[in-house]
Amino acid sequence: MSIYDYTVKTIHNEEKSMADYKGKTLVIVNTASKCGLTPQYKGLQHLYETFKDAGVEVLGFPCNQFMNQEPGTNEEIQSFCDLNYQVTFPLFAKIDVKGEHAHPLYTYLVNHVAEPYRTGEIEWNFVKFLVDGNGNVLKQYPARTEPEVIAEDLHKLLAGQSIS
């Protein structure tokens, strides 16, 4: 199995194959609209705008597992992101990211992070994963890691350097 074997639903409830992202560097993040970390949407949008022409995609997966901080419908989530953060990166349908009902994509991500960058279970909203263009899960960033930190790793990765 690889990350490209999974299918997800867009925020508009359409099936989307992760294989559509082959060759792209991905930043995958579980999001929430009513969290103290919600302002990270701004940094994620900036990351997307900065790197999209270099083949980087930011993929947002709303999740309501952490203190019910994403209670809205997919439509409400999209509207919130548009209105408050002008999000243009792809958002997906609300999912679980841990536990018995975790989406298989997230189970894969957590279990395939390269050492020593595996932090284990998703601890909160806004945990981020960096995936290279070959589908390798390079790094897991804790929830409080600001998107600007990921920008440093993206610069290195796109320049052919190793990340640390």
Q: pLDDT tens for residues 1-51?
A: 999 999 999 999 999 999 999 999 999 999 999 999 999 999 999 999 999
pLDDT tops 80 at residue 118: no
- As a whole number, mean pLDDT of residues 87-116 equals 95
pLDDT at 15: 98
Question: Is residue 85, in this structure, part of any structural domain at all?
Answer: yes
Question: Is residue 164, in this structure, part of any structural domain at all?
Answer: no
Burial of residue 16, with CB atoms counted within 10 A of its CB: 0-12 exposed, 13-18 middle, 19 or more buried: middle
CB–CB of 154/162 below 8 Å? no
Q: Token match 């560097």: residue? A: 25
Which of the four pLDDT bands, split at 50, 70 and 90, describes residue 107?
Answer: very high
| Dihedral sign computed on CA atoms, order 34, 50, 149, 58 | positive
| pTM score of the predicted model | 0.96
Question: Is residue 102, in this structure, part of any structural domain at all?
Answer: yes
Question: Is residue 105, in this structure, part of any structural domain at all?
Answer: yes
CA distance 130 to 57: 10
**DSSP states along 79-120:** HHHHHHH---S-BB-----SSTT--HHHHHHHHTBPTTS---
Neighbours of 19 (CB within 10 A): 13
Range of the domain at 97: 3-158
- With a pLDDT cut of 90, the percent of the chain lying above it is 91
**What is the 8-class DSSP label of residue 131?**
E
Question: Is residue 117, in this structure, part of any structural domain at all?
Answer: yes
Question: Is residue 14, in this structure, part of any structural domain at all?
Answer: yes
Write the CATH number for 38.
3.40.30.10
Catalytic residue among 18, 35, 47, 154: 35
Question: Is residue 163, in this structure, part of any structural domain at all?
Answer: no
Q: Total domain count for the chain?
A: 1
Q: Mark whether 63 is an active-site residue.
A: no
pLDDT tops 90 at residue 120: no
pLDDT at 117: 77
